[in-house]
Structures are given as structure tokens and as C-alpha cells.
Amino acid sequence: MIDVHEKLSMAQALNRALRDAMADDPSVVLFGEDVGALGGVFRITDGLTAEFGEARCFDTPLAESGIVGMAVGMAMNGMRPIVEMQFDAFAYPAFEQIVSHVAKMRNRTRGRVSLPMVIRVPYAGGIGGVEHHCDSSEAYYAHTPGLHVVAPATPADAYALLREAIAAPDPVVFLEPKKLYWSKEEIEFPVRAPGIGTAVVRRAGTDATLIAYGPSVPVALEAAEVAASEGRSLQVVDLRSIVPFDDETVCAAVRSTGRAVVVAESAGFAGVAAEIAARVTERCFTSLAAPIRRVAGFDIPYPPPKLEHFQLPGVDRVLDAVDDLQWEQ
């Protein structure tokens, strides 16, 4: 196969992944609110109904629990449904279905019934969305055994991870950072990328390690760039996948620097960042020169649009945490 390079936004990469998966496998179906003729609120599904027909890409009533419940039945009967929740905080009416049925069907049936389905969730902040249109819900899903949870930070990973999620034998919650939909990069097709459950080092560094995922990865990279201009070398690890978690890559990175900061938009208390800090501390304690710091959202309901910049971790907060890592004078 000849390698082809294309410059795509994350939105375009996701659209391409959906199109390629539907072309390759007739059992793949896509549905949700406004994903059909409109092409989705963010146009991720643009053109798919016209290409594959209303039987394979179609609109549903505004009933998230019904959307996921229908997907469960489809997956139990040999199909590979992909559902879109439209916005992160719109997914909560379906939470009972996700926790009680999607996550537990394989265990409940002693492995006889699997649910190969993908729940796409446009998530996190940075777009000035009003109430219920921006939230960071990853901890709810990551805490639920039986679900895989992924969060791409680049267009290439968005394509690769979505293709892998659709092909996976178990349910995947696919978190799509809304503020990164319009970020662009050149992608080499066919995409050669590590699978779900594999983190990558985005930037080498020797002084401290920044651990991030999804929308926080560009923030960590920008912080590392600013730190470099000030004479400090920061390594950046992109988790790509929250569940499964790549302990090997993350711990190797932390051991190489002896210091770490976890960057995440979601609330800090009992969040994914807290779990990362705990498991890395358990595994790397003797290699740490300082306690692991977290830079996370505040423990408040997601703020209104004009105040969200106070909530979202920024470069200054990240660098403040780095400065607080007990450097020798």
C-alpha cells in the first residue's frame, strides 16, 4: 500500500475514521442526535448518511438512555454500533445503561456475550459552552470496570484510536476534546500508531515529566516550550488511553526525571489525575525526588463560559507546579 500524507483537522480525521470503518465492515452502524442529515453538531458525521444510507447512519429521538439501550441490543445481535452523545453532560441520562449493562454484559454472561460498541462523547471545555455543554466526565467511566476509556490529543491519534475502538471486542467510551476538533496536522495513511492502552512520549526532557491526556496535552507541550526558554527541560507524556492505563511507559518516564506533574481539566478530588498520582507514586516511590503534583480543574460545578478560563489548567499553573517540585538551590 502506498503511503499518503494528508493534512486533516481532528474533526476531519474522526470523520475519515468513521467512513473507513463503515466501508470496511457492513455491521458498523452510527446513530445519535442530529448525526444524520445535519452531520452532527460538530460535523463529525458529515456526509455519512448520504454515502451509506439512513439504515446505517441515522438520527434518533432526544433520549440518550434509549440511544445507548438500542446500541446494547444491536451489539448483542452481531452489529457494531457507534453512538454519539452530542455533548458530554448530555450523556448522564444514559449513565445507568452504560454502568449497569454496557460495562457488565460480558461479566454477567460469563464471557458468552460481548458488546463491541463505541460511545462517542464530545467532551471537556475550551469552547465557551453553556451549562450541560462542557464537562469533564472521564472519572465516571474510568471508575467503571468493563469500559475502555480513550482520549486522543492529535488528529492522527483520533483516527487511529477510533478505528481501534470500533474494531475492539468490548465497549469503548471515546472522549473527543471539543476544543481540539479544529487542530490540524499532517497524517500518514495508513496510520501506524500504538494501540489502545499505549501512552507515548510527545517531548523528551530530563528535569521533570508532565503527564496529560486529551485536551491537556497541548497545554503541557506549551508549558514545556516556555520552560525550555527558561532553561528547564520538561518531558511530556500523552496517555492516549485512560483505561487500560500504560503503567510501563508512564513509570519509565517518571523514573527518568524523578519529578512529575499530572495535568487534567477535570476536578481534582477523586479524579483521574489523583489515580495517576497514586499509582505512579506506588510504583516509582524510590525514584521520586519530590511528591507528584496535580494541576486540575477546581472542585466546583463547571463554570459559565466567561469564567471557564479560570477553571482550565493553563501554562502558568503548570509551571507553578513545576517550580514547586523541591528543586535543589
Write b or e for each residue in 52-80: b if 16 or more Cβ atoms lie within 10 A of its Cβ, otherwise e. beeebbbebeeebeebbbbbbebbbeebb
Could you tell me the CA-to-CA distances from 140 to 90, 122, 144, 149, 157 in Å, in that order?
14, 15, 7, 10, 23
The per-residue DSSP string of 209-260 comes to EEEE-GGGHHHHHHHHHHHHHTT--EEEEE-SEEES--HHHHHHHHHHHS-E
**No. of helices (H) and no. of strands (E), the chain:** 12, 14
Judging by beta carbons within 10 Å of its beta carbon (0-12, 13-18, 19+), is residue 113 exposed, middle or buried?
A: middle
Residue 202: what residue type? R
* Radius of gyration in angstroms for the set of CA atoms belonging to the chain, rounded to a whole number: 20
The verdict on whether 133 is a catalytic residue reads yes
Residues 115 and 123: their CA atoms lie apart, in Å, by: 23
Of 5, 132, 133, 143, catalytic? 133
Residues 115 and 297: their CA atoms lie apart, in Å, by: 33
Active site residues: 133
